[in-house]
Structure 1
Amino acid sequence: MKKTLLIIMISSQLLFLSGCWGSKEIQSQTYVTAVGLDYSEGEFVVYIQALNFANIAKQEGASSLQQAPPILIGEAKGNTIQEAISNLEQISALPLYYGHVETILLNENVIKEQMDSVIDFIGQNSLLRYNIWLFGTEQDIKEILTSESFFNFPSLYTIIHSPKILTKNNFFIPIEKYNKFISTYYQPVGTQFIPSIDVDKTHYSEDEKKKDIAVVTGGFVISQKQYKGWVNKKDLVGLKWFSEKATNIPLSIFEEKVSVIIQKPKKTIKVEEDGESPSYHLNVKANAILTQNEEDISKAKIKKEVEKKIKSELLKTIEKSGELKADLLNISEKTYRYHLKNWDISEIASIDKESIDHIDVKVHIEQNINYKR
């Protein structure tokens, strides 16, 4: 009797154990890795990029010289983003799964006219995480989503999916995740950047075949929820001096005959409260290591030229702020947080060259070049 009761008890407990009854095999779903959004003639166009994870796993464990894994691109239209996705899902050979989406790619038309729809779509889709990457493009989204990596590696090794690794030493454009973007989107001062991606077809080739490589070319600027325009990365050279992530910044002067590495620049912003509108003192301090000095130029001369160049780069980006009527350096954020009672929001948000009362740059050249022996 006791033995029978024991068997019944064990059997009943097994019924409550969690298992894999509802699990699906990897090949039974289409794993979407990126979503592209366009807007034209009153309709949304949704693109999806999906990768075969089984092929990727095989490739990563073997030689990278084998054939590149295929990239699946889906495309559908609709009056809303969700309607376009539903239209795509209805004709899919396998169910679409969005839990692995790493990137949202927006066409410039969407950034100009439909950012609120994008924000609603991401917020309402339970499978889309807030730590996805956000990019924009003026090009054909399909071309971006099918851009190549090196040595037939999968698309996961392109800047679309791995920007942190590929832009570690590039401080021109802040490449942030969506949660960072949305945290300041509704703020009445400052700017948000959506990095712009283009396809470069000229710099790399394999076996004489040109590679189509996705690269960052600039940024789409949004301020006070309004699209302000696209900025080339050459006009954003001042951003790196105000970046919290910039640790080692290479800089060349004297027609590239002298090179230095600026280490951990420290910036401070001082708000002058006496005027009808806020004005600013900007200060940058840093140490620099001299890495190249072909003509044996004196440290004092190098120091002066480095400080001059940093100041000119800051001014270039500030001048662009005036053109776009957008605070590209986010200088006004300090005024908004600590001096809001002194001026109206419109006065605080307005930043141009006249807003900058003084720029002070001090660089200390720490050491000369040490050659290997």
Structure 2
Amino acid sequence: MLTHEDVKARAMQTLKWQMANGIQYVRTHVDVSDPTLTALKAMLEVKQEVAPWVDLQIVAFPQEGILSYPNGEALLEEAVRLGADVIGAIPHFEFTREYGVESLHKIFALAQKYDRLIDVHCDEIDDEQSRFVETVAALAHRDGMGARVTASHTTAMHSYNGAYASRLFRLLKMSGINFVANPLVNIHLQGRFDTYPKRRGVTRVKEMLEAGINVCFGHDDVFDPWYPLGTANMLQVLHMGLHVCQLMGYGQINDGLNLITTHSAKTLHLQDYGLSVGHAANLVILPAENGFDAVRRQTPARYSIRHGRVIAETVPSQTTLHLTQPEAVTFKR
């Protein structure tokens, strides 16, 4: 049975893993289908407790749907009233396409009523007919909310035909919405209904980058039945993402850190992010020559600095070969 204390303990453990990996900004999706909103109330407490070290955004996520679940709409609004920062939806999981579209109209109205961001679990399915992302983009364009709206997963886009995708990308660019791909989990979960060949099921990251659409990588699940191998290390996410999205040019790899830093900050709608005069002294130091080196060697964060104070450090390890004479191996070229 889910308890307040259990939720907090699990969340704190995961946040400590994230902090140890240099993460200072987190967006978490909290299921608000529970009539008691146990997880949400626990996470709101966690948000306050970790505030000195991590900015935690909480998404009110209706895991079972908004219109397809008893009191789903009321529970979602109550979660927002209690303090959720972001409003979620899962249109492809609603009973019908019509319910899915209506659920999106409702969250846009709710976001404007309470001045909240939007992050939709959108088209996380291999069905090429799941096209709710066009509704998300159209509503964001209509309401001028693109910078505050995110479509997460959009794995169905992997299966769209070229003619439809071409038309869709025009709208996506005009809308200004953000995208999150989750390569560790998407590559594991998608394609399960396929025989062979099996699709990769990761959204069109490469094409979005080429089109100037903001896209970033997320970890999604960290250590659970959907993904049991996570350590909350975003360099692992980036490493996998560059592989499955076929971003293997030197420049693509070297600039890959943007997919887990500046692009992510834009998605989270962070203000005053980055190294500039007047910004908070929040930064991560990697013992690497450049982005390419950091990704290739998967270098742990040497220091994570928050408001000018070191909050996490990793002591460098050393590998020594004992051949004709001891020799240190750094894996550098």
TM-score (norm 1): 0.26
Q: Considering only CA atoms, is the larger Rg found in Structure 1 or Structure 2?
A: 1
TM-score of the superposition, structure 2-length normalised?
0.28
